[in-house]
Amino acid sequence: MNLAAAWIRVSTGSQDESSQVRAIDKYAREHGITIVKTFRLRGYSASEGAQEPALREAIADMGRGEYDTLIVTESSRLDRREDLDAQAEILLAIRSIGGDVLSISEPTFGKSDFAGRIVTLVAQHANAEKSKTVKATTYRGICMIRDNGAHHGHLPVFWESEGKRYAKQAYCTDPQAVNDIFERISKGESLSSVGRAYDLYPNSVKNLLRFGANHTGVVECSYTYEGVTETWTHRVSPVVDSALWWRANAVLDANKTSGRGNKGGRPVARPSNWLSGLLPCPGCGGKLYINGGLTPAGNPRTPMLRCGGYGKRRVSCGRFRGTDARPVVALIEGVFSEDRSDILAFQRVAGNAHERDALNAALRKIQAQFSAAEDDDEFDALVAERKAVKARLETFVVVPDRFDYAPTGQTVAQMWADGDDAVKRRMVRAVQAAWGLVLGFVEGKPEILMGSGAEDAFKDRNEFADLGNGLCFRWEADRAA
Ligand SMILES: [Zn+2]
């Protein structure tokens, strides 16, 4: 007697499947009903009548006595079709085999056979009408939007639309910020870094960069009604020039590699001093750490460089007894703060392919504007512009791109002076990796050995010390200790 099937329908979009499941489970528990079967229909709208086979299956089940009730959260879940005969047929079929439909949110639904049927038919007819009316009114609105050439659809950040209903005009709220974002990205700044500067998610920054109307001044709008997609163009004032739009988008494309994903890992504690953990122990080759801080009496200790051994074990080897850190710090400071060699960046030093790309971008912009041209004058102007760009493209002589290390205008000494602890550590590490940088003692006095002086440890000397981020500096002969 108390066996039932749950009927759950979610059309694509907003409706929530799990909330229907929870409501039906709760109702069944409170009324001593056991759910023996669950029909789940998702991904398509009930107004297309696609659930009919499932209804027929439910009727067949009830005919065999597997359960006698179909539970829904509201009657609109059952059917929203316009064919009242088909609805009546299904409901009569359920009643005629002794089954019933139970709607949790409509207590009067199916209380008596006669009233139940009437309520059911009326409710379902209303559902069908509502579905039809909503669609038709939406479509009428969209037609007006289309005829007005108004905006419809999503906009990225810094873009909004204003104006009367059906005549909304999209516009950029902050062209300066948009230009700045395009500039930053085209210069290689990361999405998350730009996002931090503007309090945006990296994805919002990306959507803004991909929004073509930023440079074409044309938004492609579309709406699909009864399987037919309408498209129209909406004109806006462009805010960035095509070359810049192209450069920033080229950077995005170039960064679409699998190597850019998050590789996991966890943040580690900040070292208390930039030198801590950088120099190898003269005794065992482990790492030297700075022990400093205060004595129990509150006086500052003499900061000492002591062996911290290897990796996780962090046990001193005992062969190196430690040394005052201050002269060592002064020595390394001396090495870097007097180094006048240029910081170099890997840059294009010749080539004009980027100019051709900018011309191609201009061509695409003209192409997009064609579709939105309103009068003959505008059209003629576009044709002339297109001819001019085409002519320039045809006579364009490509000078192949050549990349090389070019000075950034900054010296090693300046970078050292301006850098925080992280920069200093990176610089010392770069030199260590490229040329070697070790601590030695001559007559008990500490010395920093680089290059040939450290050659025992570093046989292969590189030409460049790589600082990461495409920056480096070159080995200078006088750097050898
Ligand atoms: Zn050691």
pLDDT at 369: 83
Task: State the distance from the centre of ligand 1 to the C-alpha of 397, rounded, in angstroms.
Answer: 62
> Which pair of tokens denotes residue 261?
């994903």
**What's the gap in Å between 304 CA and the centre of ligand 1?**
14
Residue 283 Cα to ligand 1 middle (Å): 5
Q: Measured in angstroms, how far is the CA atom of residue 444 from the centroid of ligand 1? A: 17
Predicted confidence band of residue 309 (pLDDT cuts 50, 70, 90): confident
Which residue pairs from 129-137 have beta carbons closer than 8 angstroms and sit at least 24 positions apart in sequence?
131/47, 131/80, 132/47, 132/82, 135/225
CA 298–ligand 1 middle distance (angstroms) = 29
Handedness of CA 236, 239, 245, 248 (dihedral sign): negative
Q: How far is the C-alpha of 110 from the C-alpha of 104, rounded, in Å?
A: 11
What is the rounded CA–CA span in Å between residue 39 and residue 435? 70
pLDDT category at 181 given cuts 50, 70, 90 is very high
**What is the DSSP annotation of 164-188?**
STT--EEEES-HHHHHHHHHHHHTT
Q: Which fold has domain 2-134?
A: Rossmann fold (3.40.50)
435, burial (CB in 10 Å: exposed 0-12, middle 13-18, buried 19+):
buried
Q: How far is the CA of 319 from the centre of ligand 1 (A)?
A: 6
Greater pLDDT, 151 or 140: 151
Distance from the CA of 281 to the center of ligand 1, in angstroms?
5
DSSP class per residue in 119-144: HHHHHHHHHHHHHHHHHHHHHHHHHH
79 CA from centroid of ligand 1 (Å): 79
Q: Which helix (H) or strand (E) holds 146?
A: helix 113-148
pLDDT at residue 267 tops 60: no
pLDDT band at 481 (very low <50, low <70, confident <90, very high): very low
Domain 159-256 has CATH 3.90.1750.20: yes
Q: How far apart are CA 454 and CA 457, in angstroms?
A: 6
- Angle of helix 175-186 relative to helix 242-254, nearest 10 degrees, comes to 50
Torsion of CA 387, 388, 394, 398, to 10 degrees: -150
Q: Cα of 437 to ligand 1 centre, how many Å?
A: 16
What pLDDT does 277 receive? 86
* Structure confidence at residue 131 as a pLDDT band (50, 70, 90): confident
The secondary structure element, H or E, covering residue 197 is: helix 191-198
Q: Calculate how far, in angstroms, residue 272's C-alpha sits from the geometric centre of ligand 1.
A: 20
Q: How confident is the model at residue 82 (pLDDT cuts 50, 70, 90)?
A: low
> Quick check: 171 pLDDT over 90?
yes
Closest by CA to 11, choosing from 127, 142, 154, is 127
Total-model pTM: 0.40
pLDDT at 48 over 70: no
Distance 280 CA to ligand 1 centre (A): 8
Q: How high is the pLDDT of residue 176? A: 95
> 336: CA distance to ligand 1 center in Å?
26
As given in the structure block, the two tokens for residue 386 are 């297109």
Q: In what order do the strands lie in the sheet with 304-307?
A: 288-291, 304-307, 323-324
Tell me if 308 sits within 8 A of 270, measured CB to CB.
Answer: no
Residue 313 Cα to ligand 1 midpoint, Å, equals: 12
DSSP label of 478 = G
305 Cα–ligand 1 center, Å: 11
Q: How many residues does the chain have?
A: 481
What average pLDDT does range 292-312 have in this prediction? Answer: 81
Residue 308 alpha carbon to ligand 1 centre in Å: 7
Distance 306 CA to ligand 1 centre (A): 8
List residues bridging with 363 in a β-sheet: none
The residue among 55, 116, 46 whose CA lies nearest residue 82 is: 46
